[in-house]
Amino acid sequence: MIPAPFDYHSPRTLEDALALLQSHRDEAKVLSGGQSLLPLLKLRLGAAGHLVDIGRIPGLEYIEEEDGVLKIGGRTRESALEHSELIQSRYPLLAETAAVIADPLVRNLATVGGNLAHGDPANDHPATMLALRAEVVATGPNGARTIPIDRFFLGLFTTALEPDEILTEIRIPAPPARSGGSYVKLERKVGDFATAASAVQLTLGAGGEVASAGIGLTNAGPTPLRASDAEQYLIGKQPGADVIAEAARLASTIAMPSADRRGAIEYKRQMARVLTARALQRAIQWAREH
C-alpha cells in the first residue's frame, strides 16, 4: 500500500517546523515516529498535503525530573521510556504502559508525543496521562502554552492542538512518597489495540488510606475516560478487597466501548472492571513498597 502523494519537509529547527505548519495549516501533519500516521496514510483513512517531519530537530527527546516535575520531550521514543531507569524506578505506570504499546520494533520509532497528539482513545498513553494528571506543552508561532490533560482530548482523533502547534513536552507531577501506579491491558496479541485497559496512579497517606487517585480507561469511548466517581470514592478509604471491587465497578460504569471483533460491549465493560481492580491492586502494592 502506498499513501496518496504529499510533500515532505524536514526542518532542522522548531522555528522552521512551525513556519511550515503556519503556511500549510490544515494541509499539514506533523510526522513524529510515524507509527500511527504512516499506516493511516497508507490505508488512505486520511490524507495530508504536507508532512512536516520533526525527526531531525535536536532537543526533543529527553526524560528528566526537575523541580518536582517529570518532563518528557515530545519526540521521546517509547523504547527510551520503556528502558529508562528513572521511569522504571519512579513511574511504574509509565514503564508498564510503554512496555505494552504495539511491539518492540514499533516502539523503536513511536513517540510519546505522537501517541497523545494522534488523539486515538485506543492508544495507551492517553489514559495513563489522565491517571498521572499530566500537562501537555504545545508550542506554536506565539510561543508555548500548557494544556491540562483533561482539556486535551476533544473527540475521536481530535485534540486541543491547533494546526500550527507541535506537542513539545509532557509534564507529570513527580509522585510523593507512598505512590504507585500500574497499567493493565488486555490484548488479543502483541501489537493489538486494547480490548480494554486501565491506568491507575495513587498515593497512600501515612495511615495507609488512599490520599489521591487517578484512573484512566483506554478504548472505552471516543476519548480516553477519567473514572472520576471511582477516584472520589477511593479518597480517605483503606484500600481493602471490598473497596477495590467497588472502585473498579464504579470505573466500569463510565465505559462506553463499541462492539467489534475484540468483543461485545458488556464483555468489554466487564473487562474494564476486572482490569481496573488488578491495576489498583498492583498500584497499591507498589505504593506500600516504595
Closest-CA residue to 47 (of 9, 5, 15, 78): 5
Residues 212 and 199 sit within 8 Å (Cβ to Cβ) = no
- Least distance from other proteins to the Cβ atom of residue 1, Å: 5
Paired strand residues for 180: 202
Cell, residue 25 = 495549516
Which helix (DSSP H) or strand (DSSP E) does residue 271 occupy? helix 265-289
Residues 63 and 86 sit within 8 Å (Cβ to Cβ) = yes
Under rule CB under 8 A, residue 47 binds other proteins: no
Under rule CB under 8 A, residue 44 binds other proteins: no
Q: Give the 3-state secondary structure of residue 196.
A: strand
Under rule CB under 8 A, residue 95 binds other proteins: no
Quick one: how many helices (H) and strands (E) in the chain?
11, 14
Candidate ranges 34-42, 64-72, 161-169, 256-264; the one touching other proteins (CB under 8 A): 34-42
Burial 158-180 (b: 16+ CB within 10 A, else e): ebbbeebbbbbbbbbeebeebbb
Under rule CB under 8 A, residue 263 binds other proteins: no
Torsion of CA 235, 238, 242, 244, to 10 degrees: 50
What is the residue type of 11?
P
Give the contacts of 75 (CB within 8 A, at least 6 positions apart).
32, 33, 54, 55, 57, 60, 61, 111, 113, 114
Instruction: Specify the residue, 55 or 222, whose C-beta has the smaller distance to other proteins.
Output: 55
Candidate ranges 60-68, 99-107, 149-157, 220-228; the one touching other proteins (CB under 8 A): 99-107
Under rule CB under 8 A, residue 228 binds other proteins: no
- Least distance from other proteins to the Cβ atom of residue 138, Å: 24
Site for other proteins in 166-195 (CB under 8 A): 190-191
Under rule CB under 8 A, residue 39 binds other proteins: yes
Instruction: Specify the residue, 104 or 240, whose C-beta has the smaller distance to other proteins.
Output: 104
Under rule CB under 8 A, residue 80 binds other proteins: no
Residues 97 and 183 sit within 8 Å (Cβ to Cβ) = yes
Place of cell 495507609: 208
Under rule CB under 8 A, residue 57 binds other proteins: no
- Least distance from other proteins to the Cβ atom of residue 71, Å: 24
Q: Which of 15, 103, 242, 266 binds other proteins (CB under 8 A)?
A: 103
Instruction: Specify the residue, 8 or 85, whose C-beta has the smaller distance to other proteins.
Output: 8
Under rule CB under 8 A, residue 45 binds other proteins: no
Q: Which of 55, 173, 208, 222 binds other proteins (CB under 8 A)?
A: 55
Under rule CB under 8 A, residue 15 binds other proteins: no
Candidate ranges 105-113, 122-130, 198-206, 245-253; the one touching other proteins (CB under 8 A): 105-113
Q: Which of 32, 35, 159, 179 binds other proteins (CB under 8 A)?
A: 35
Tell me which residues touch other proteins (CB under 8 A): 1-8, 10, 31, 34-35, 38-39, 41-43, 51, 53, 55, 102-106, 108-109, 190-191
